DNA sequence: ACCTGAACACCGTTCAAGT
DNA sequence: ACCTGAACACCGTTCAAGT
């Protein structure tokens, strides 16, 4: 929680930077995200960005986190695990370029690696919770892992939305049993 | 096939460049591969590389293709589809950094995208052939696709070799039926 | 045909100097 | 505390000039 006016101002500026960063990431991908492009969009000098972020990769990680959080806001109130999983995959699929860039930069930046690990743990946890009522306890871990890896695979490839849905549904039916 | 001495020399030089490029990719990843680093290793000026490759991404694509071809040489003479698939995944897992860089750069370079599509089609085809004796015709396409996506997922993530093998085996058992 | 060396425009990062 | 403007080392790419 912010304690004073100064910290509020700072958070607002960080928020401005991340808004611009997330927008550039969505439209132009990692290659389009430069410290210069963000600074220019905000009308400040390149060096100003370094007052709020230690490096380009920290700026990238935070912007990517923001874009992903935006995409997963407002999940639907649906009952079956399959449909909730399918909803999340649809939303994440739009961010496929960001996802591949995260994987790539995680090799070189601890900040990016940490964000990616956090995102993956969060998603795997939610996936387990969604599956728990539908899978016997002994199968929960392997089933959740295999579905998670499948989603990871669909997000790392270019694929037609139709094929993505078909393959995901096939896997879910195989592992969870066909719906009644 | 080369027609004269000149073309032989040229092919040898291209081969030298790719040997260095593949080596840098394996040891330092995409970020370590620069036109400068390849040229320096060969003792030539930066510009010399452009006599053989039109851009850094074409150099990258060719080097990555070489590294992958090297890794998949000498497949084992084994009978079951599962063990052949597992062998290929083990080999490709070592090249995970190259794989993620290919996905990322395919967004920006037609040459990289073309190589990636070629590799993926080749692997999917081999996967189908390996599976054909073990799966009824109607299930061949979806089963092959789901396994392919799973492999793609394991290659895009950092994962302990033990977990990678366990999850792959679980999926194969689920889709193909447990081994006798 | 092949290669060099310099030039260009662009990076990420740092930092003295200002307010 | 916050920002500018210049500097530095590094890119990818191009190209006149050499052999």
Which residues of A lie closer than 8 Å to B, measured between beta carbons?
A: 29-31, 97, 100-101, 103-104, 106-108, 120, 142, 145-146, 148-158, 163, 166-167, 170-171, 174-175
B19 beta carbon to strand C: under 7 Å: no
Chain C bases closer than 7 A to any CB of the protein: 1-7, 10-16
Confidence of residue A164 (pLDDT cuts 50, 70, 90): very high
A29-47 pLDDT, tens digit each: 999 999 999 999 999 999 9
Measured over the CA atoms of residue B20, residue B39, residue B11 and residue B106, the dihedral's sign is: positive
In angstroms, rounded to a whole number, what is the distance separating the alpha carbons of residues A43 and A25? 18
Tokens, residue A99: 């996802």
Give distance CA B113 / C1' C1 (Å).
30
Residue A180 confidence (pLDDT): 43
Q: Is B102 left (phi over 0), alpha (psi -120 to 50) or beta?
A: alpha
Residue whose structure tokens are 């194969």: B172
| CA–CA separation, B131 and A57 (whole Å) | 42
CA of B42 and C1' of D9: distance in angstroms? 22
Could you please report the per-residue DSSP string of chain A? ---SHHHHHHHHHHHHHHHHHHHHHHHHHHHH--HHHHHHHHTS-HHHHTTT-SSHHHHHHHHHHHHHHHHTSS----S-HHHHHHHHHHHHHTTHHHHHHHHHHHTT-HHHHHHHHHHHHHHHHHHHHHHGGGS-HHHHHHHHHHHHHHHHHHHHS---HHHHHHHHHHHHHHHH----
Whole-number pLDDT of residue B2: 65
Residue B169 C-alpha, separation from nearest chain A C-alpha, in angstroms? 10
Nearest CB partner across the interface for B103, out of A149, A154, A156: A156
What are B87-140's pLDDT values in tens digits?
A: 998 999 999 999 999 999 999 999 999 999 999 999 999 999 999 999 999 999
Q: Please give the pLDDT value at position B43.
A: 96
Q: Note the pLDDT tens digit of each residue in A94-140.
A: 999 999 999 999 999 999 999 999 999 999 999 999 999 999 999 99
Calculate what percentage of chain A has a pLDDT beyond 90. 85
Of the residues B109, B117, B147, B152, the best mutation for testing chain A's interface (the one with the most A CB atoms within 10 Å of its CB) is B152
Cα–Cα distance for residue pair A165/A177, rounded to 1 Å: 17
Whether the per-residue pLDDT at A79 is higher than 80: the answer is: no
Question: What is the Cα gyration radius of chain B?
Answer: 19
- Number of neighbouring beta carbons within 10 Å of residue A170: 18
* Strand D lies under 7 A from the Cβ of residue B100: no
For the record, the structure tokens of B163 come out as: 């977990």
User: Taking a C-beta distance cutoff of 8 angstroms, is the pair A49, A59 a contact?
Assistant: yes
In the structure, how far is the CA atom of residue B47 from the C1' atom of nucleotide D15, in angstroms?
A: 10
Q: What is the CA radius of gyration of chain A?
A: 19
Helix (H, G, I), strand (E, B) or coil at B28: helix
Average pLDDT, chain B: 94
**Amino acid B180: pLDDT:** 43
Q: Which of A99, A145, A152 to mutate to probe the B interface, most B CBs <10 Å?
A: A152
Whole-model pTM: value is 0.93
């Amino acid at each position: 929680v912010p304690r004073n006016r100064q910290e509020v101002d700072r958070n607002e500026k960080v928020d401005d930077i991340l808004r611009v960063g997330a927008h550039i990431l969505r439209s132009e991908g990692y290659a389009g995200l430069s410290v210069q492009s963000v600074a220019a969009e905000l009308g400040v000098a390149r060096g100003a960005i370094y007052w709020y972020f230690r490096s380009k990769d920290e700026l990238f990680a935070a912007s990517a986190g923001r874009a992903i959080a935006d995409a997963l806001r407002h999940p639907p109130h649906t009952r079956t695990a399959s449909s909730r999983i399918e909803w999340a995959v649809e939303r994440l699929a739009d961010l496929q370029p960001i996802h591949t860039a995260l994987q790539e930069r995680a090799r070189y930046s601890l900040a990016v690696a940490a964000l990616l690990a956090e995102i993956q743990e969060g998603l795997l946890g939610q996936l387990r919770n969604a599956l728990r009522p539908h899978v016997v306890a002994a199968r929960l871990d392997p089933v959740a892992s295999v579905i998670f890896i499948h989603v990871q695979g669909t997000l790392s490839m270019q694929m037609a939305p139709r094929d993505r849905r078909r393959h995901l549904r096939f896997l879910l039916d195989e592992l969870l049993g066909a719906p009644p």
